[in-house]
Amino acid sequence: MKKLSLFFGWFGLLLFIFVDSVSAQTVIQTTNVTVVYNTSQANSVFENVTKFYFSNGNLVIDQNGVETSISTNTVRRLELAAISTFNDISEWDEDAIFVYPNPTSDKLFFSCKDNQEVTVSVYSMNGQLLKSEQMNTSESLNVSSLAKGMYIIRINNQNYKFSKF
């Protein structure tokens, strides 16, 4: 009975973190996608990308209705050139911190109205603290040592989700 109670306690905490993190998410618009291959094939740069998604084992890149399919077996990583959807930095919420790229393979970057000192904590999906650092939002967080999967990142009492691939 004690184990069951402990399980539901952790489950409730994770559900709270998940719901809280969903409300803290933002959308970052991307215009350029670079595909880095795990073969000797040269990197491909796709400009003016309107969306990309995965379908039937392929990465599909849509450039204003023109779709290109690439087998995911050949893709080592994607590099996104992200731009904010805000027209003016004065529109940003004072406390908003944007985390990108998501998903990532090695580093997370942060963007906010003013650079600030923050405490960044990374948790596994079962609530285990994996990493905690005091850093400036102008710095990047190295997550290359983490295994592939989903993680929760907490920055000054704001929760976000990110994926490591």
- pLDDT for the residue numbered 23: 37
87 located within any domain: no
Look up residue 7 and give its DSSP letter.
Answer: H
Q: How confident is the model at residue 64 (pLDDT cuts 50, 70, 90)?
A: confident
Beta bridge partners of 63: 66
137 located within any domain: yes
Q: Taking residues 39-66, what's their average pLDDT?
A: 83
CB 30 within 8 A of CB 48: no
- Let me know whether 110 and 122 are in one domain: yes
User: What is the rounded distance in angstroms from the CA atom of residue 74 to the CA atom of residue 35?
Assistant: 10
Q: What is the pLDDT of residues 76-127, one digit of tens each?
A: 887 777 554 444 445 556 677 888 888 888 999 888 878 889 999 999 988 8
85 located within any domain: no
45 located within any domain: yes
124 located within any domain: yes
7 located within any domain: yes
CB 44 within 8 A of CB 63: no
- pLDDT for the residue numbered 93: 62
- pLDDT for the residue numbered 129: 94
Q: In sequence order, what DSSP letters do the residues of 63-106 get, joined into one string? A: ETTEEEEEEGGGEEEEEEEEE-S-S-GGGS-TT-EEEESSSBSS
Q: What is the pLDDT of residues 14-34, one digit of tens each?
A: 433 443 443 333 444 556 778
- Considering 80, 102, 121, which residue would you say is the last residue of a domain? 80
89 located within any domain: no
Q: Taking residues 124-145, what's their average pLDDT?
A: 92
- Let me know whether 6 and 22 are in one domain: yes
- pLDDT for the residue numbered 82: 57
- Let me know whether 24 and 35 are in one domain: no
- pLDDT for the residue numbered 36: 83
- Let me know whether 103 and 138 are in one domain: yes
Beta bridge partners of 79: 34
Taking the model in full, what pTM does it have? 0.49
On the question of pLDDT at 135 being above 80, the answer is yes
CATH of the domain at 21: 2.60.40.3080
Q: How many domains does the chain have?
A: 2
- Let me know whether 105 and 116 are in one domain: yes
143 located within any domain: yes
User: What is the rounded distance in angstroms from the CA atom of residue 10 to the CA atom of residue 17?
Assistant: 11
Residue where the block lists tokens 């087998």: 71
- Let me know whether 6 and 49 are in one domain: no
- Let me know whether 69 and 42 are in one domain: yes
Q: Six-digit token pair at 127? A: 């609530």
- With a CB cutoff of 8 Å and minimum separation 6, the contacts of 105 are 77, 144, 164, 165
Q: How confident is the model at residue 132 (pLDDT cuts 50, 70, 90)?
A: very high
| Structural domain of 42 | 31-80
Of the candidates 163, 127, 110, 104, the one whose C-alpha atom is nearest the C-alpha of residue 119 is 110
